[in-house]
Structure 1
């Protein structure tokens, strides 16, 4: 064996170890959620939720409860059709977040008639609205609506991610958040 062979073998082992370290996922990957994405307008099916964006609009004012609650600002109101894929036990959208760039906005819980917490059924869509209060400078770009069916951060569970283009969305003066309804009833 010539003198260069041990050096070549050692260099190859160092490169292999470096590649193994670079390709090994971080510890957080052991408990991260699985993001299930679809295209714009597509229904996305997860383990605990099937959902689809039906409509989205910007508004200057949202109302709910037949006028019992109202708020002014820059609001994004999204209409979603959701159902349970296999069981109705604990089937509800508990957390709805809008990811716009590197910022996350949660659906308002003040609009008590929203889709948040509404019971979902197997085989029947529940159509409801989610209202997101956004800063005044957020009115365009690409966004992702993320829906979760548990209170805790999903660990090793799925998150339904619905893409949404904020460009060219209509703007209305006022939108009333209506209670969720079963589709077809």
Structure 2
């Protein structure tokens, strides 16, 4: 029995080392952004942004003033505000994650919520349009809202869930300019 003890202890140490390596987060986790998740229909508040999905729908065409485009679109209406300061308060990047695919909000329309100034204590309600491939029409998605151009490091990202299965489909949606709620 004494001859097998070192082998058993060595095997146990190898297993413990393997578990430690498996549980150690990757280096990127040291500077990765924190996801602030909201519930379906609930607002989520991060350090630089408070946001809530008000409405969402598929559209075969989106338009704004003198511009229009056909395709498979999801238009999401979002109410957003700045929780602490209005300095640089705006949704700069909006991404829709569907499974392992990421789609960014279209910047082709001038009346999008992207870049619209946000106020403390007053919601700015605006629309974000995502052009999707024709095969994306169901499943669960996450709307990720970021308030700076650079990749957030050790900061938060507001994440709002969407169920694509429940969304209505419309022939055309007109993207309207963001407005302060109550104005």
Please classify the TM superposition score into its range, dividing by the shorter chain length: over 0.9
Alignment-derived partner of residue 83 in structure 1: 81
Seen in structure 2, the aligned counterparts of structure 1 residues 14 and 108 have a Cα distance that, compared at 3 Å, is same
Q: Secondary structure at the match of 2:77?
A: strand
Alignment-derived partner of residue 94 in structure 1: 92
Deviates more, 1:85-94 or 1:27-36: 27-36
Encode CA deviations 1:89-140: one digit per residue, 9 max, x unaligned: 1110000001111111110001110000001111110000001111122211
Alignment-derived partner of residue 2 in structure 1: 2
Q: Secondary structure at the match of 1:15?
A: helix
Gaps of 5+ in 2: none
Q: Normalising by structure 1, what TM-score?
A: 0.93
Structure 2 CA distance for aligned equivalents of residues 48 and 22 of structure 1: 34
Q: Secondary structure at the match of 1:53?
A: strand
Q: Alpha-carbon deviation of 1:13?
A: 2.3
Alignment-derived partner of residue 123 in structure 1: 121
Encode CA deviations 1:123-172: one digit per residue, 9 max, x unaligned: 11000000111112221111111100110111211111100011131111
Q: Secondary structure at the match of 2:129?
A: strand
Gaps of 5+ in 1: none
| Superposed counterparts of 1:1-185, under 5 Å | 2-64=2-64, 67-185=65-183
Tell me how many residue pairs correspond in the alignment.
183
Q: Alpha-carbon deviation of 1:8?
A: 3.1
Q: CA RMSD in A?
A: 1.4
Structure 2 CA distance for aligned equivalents of residues 181 and 153 of structure 1: 27
Q: Secondary structure at the match of 2:166?
A: coil
